[in-house]
Amino acid sequence: MNGSPRLITGVVVTTLLAGLCVGAGTASAATNLALGANVSTSSVEEASLAGPSAVDGNTGTRWASAEGADPQWIQLDLRAAKDIRQIRLNWEDAYARAYRLEASDDGNTWRALHSTSSGDGGLDEINVSTTARHLRLTGTQRGTVYGYSLWEFEVYGVGGQEPPPTGGYLPGTLRPSVSQAEQDQVLSRYYQQWKTNFLTTSCGGGQWAVRSVDADHAFVGEGQGYGMTISALMADVDPQARTVFDGILRFVKNHPSVIDRDLHAAEQNPDCVSVNGSDSATDADLEIAYALLLADRRWGSGGAYNYRQEALRIIAAIKRSEVHAGNKLPLVADWASSGSHNNGSRSSDWMPGHFRAFAKATGDSFWHNVRGATENAVTRLQQQFAPNTGLLPDFVQDTQSSLRPAIGKFLENAETDGKYSWNACRDPWRLGVDAITVSGSAAQAQVRKMNAWIKQATGGDPNRIAKGYDLNGAVVESGSSAAFFAPFAVAAMADPGSQAWLDRLWAKLASTSLSTTDYYASSIQVQVLLVLAGRYVAA
């Protein structure tokens, strides 16, 4: 299973620079103390799923216990006493709902390290402070009808033994060739700039909000979603992150849509009053719900807000008001449930990782159907309308009959609604994060097609990436913007033959300062830098 890491207990052991960890290093630089440990287990499902597969450093192999029986355990002998600061459990689909971790000096007398009865799979990170030779994980309640299964049981210590960045990326995913410290320094600088340029408390009442200085309105919903996601992903290194997150959530809750009050009104004026219909925008609600799931991972839901319940409330509203009941493609807003807009969709709302997270959080297969519908739509558009480029249009129409790029003005602009423009520019990033975190993701082939074309079309020069294209690759708007060149860096991460290209994209990103007047491109740039620096986690 490819899940997101959750910091469960204790204090992160890191070195801070301008609010960001620079001591972690890359995955290859860290020492996993469990690699090659002696392993014993209560049982195995079959010989090929034996205990040593959980400590071989290969996320394609796993230990699996016998099915249908509780409790089950796996025990490690590290061969010598080790100072241990973090344990990572990378669960396959057969995860533990309840489990405990114990340590021992001699393998006979055990002391408790951690226990939970609310496990939900994915990647668990448990911060501890102990010295031990032996570790034991005991599953006491299965989360599925199967047994217990781990891709990896990892252990990290102190000094040069810090764990790597917590992205949980697939083996073979490319990263910039520069050092982890340099990646973190660049991210830190631009994150601080982004906060200074675009965060405000001017609406009062404990509200924070992201100012959309280059949009039609002072505040837009997608910006609040971006702010919440960025804050949650920076939570372990920015002590202000939760305050910011809760403040933006307060702003969101104070501005509900007039159509479905569990959704966010997408636009507010400088006086912080909802305007322009006071209805929703699907891209905003998808991002807000996703960010809430990230917040639940980071902080749990026992504070001022129950993040998980807030997420479930919004996910349910998206299902009833912002997804077409027939074709399962996202609508553009809650007001688009009838008329011509009911047969349209925005390609940048087709975020497979978000839909995977919603399915897991709700247990509702509806979201797998939504993901499947969007994956099929991407493939169909690439095959029929962009066979050479893989580019997608901002909007599509005729979703009930013969899916095609929008003709003329569907929602925003008659010249660009059917082209790769200021909405679709996010697609290589939105699809790319699924490609680098989920084995077998349909997005892998989809973004590699985009990546191969843009690399060839620009001669490998990121400075030549334009601000809009026809689906056949012709430039429709010249100039350069991080909203367009940054997302291609995530697509490059998914293509094993693109290291040099990725490094050039990184250099372009690292040398492009954030503009105080361009919230949209700046917010995309910071989120892409989070991915490149290994800090992205899939909720």
Question: Catalytic residue numbers?
Answer: 283
Closest CA to 344 of 333, 355, 358: 333
Element containing residue 467 per DSSP (H, E): none
Tokens of 309: 């319940």
What are the CA-CA distances from residue 503 to residues 169, 405, 464 (Å)?
A: 18, 33, 15
DSSP SS3 for 6: strand
Residues facing 274 on adjacent strands: 268
How many beta carbons lie within 10 A of that of residue 339, not counting itself? 9
Helical axes 282-299 vs 352-362, angle rounded to 10°: 60
Helical axes 366-385 vs 443-457, angle rounded to 10°: 30
Residue 68 phi/psi, 5-degree rounding, is 75, 20
DSSP SS3 for 139: strand
Amino acid at position 62, single letter: R
Measured CA to CA, the distance from residue 133 to residue 465 in angstroms comes to 54
Cα separation of the two ends of the chain: 12
Residue 370 has what DSSP assignment? Answer: H
Residue 223 phi/psi, 5-degree rounding, is -65, -40
Q: CB of 473 within 8 A of CB of 457? A: yes
Measured CA to CA, the distance from residue 69 to residue 485 in angstroms comes to 51
Closest CA to 284 of 353, 221, 354: 221
Residues facing 131 on adjacent strands: 83
DSSP SS3 for 40: strand
DSSP output for 326-337: TT-PBPSSTT-S
Strands 5-7 and 123-142: parallel
DSSP SS3 for 103: strand
Measured CA to CA, the distance from residue 301 to residue 305 in angstroms comes to 7
Closest CA to 448 of 506, 385, 485, 498: 498
b (16+ CB within 10 A) / e for 379-398: eebbeebbeebbbbbbbbbe
DSSP output for 374-415: HHHHHHHHHHHH-TTT----SEEE-TTSS-EE--S-SSS-TT
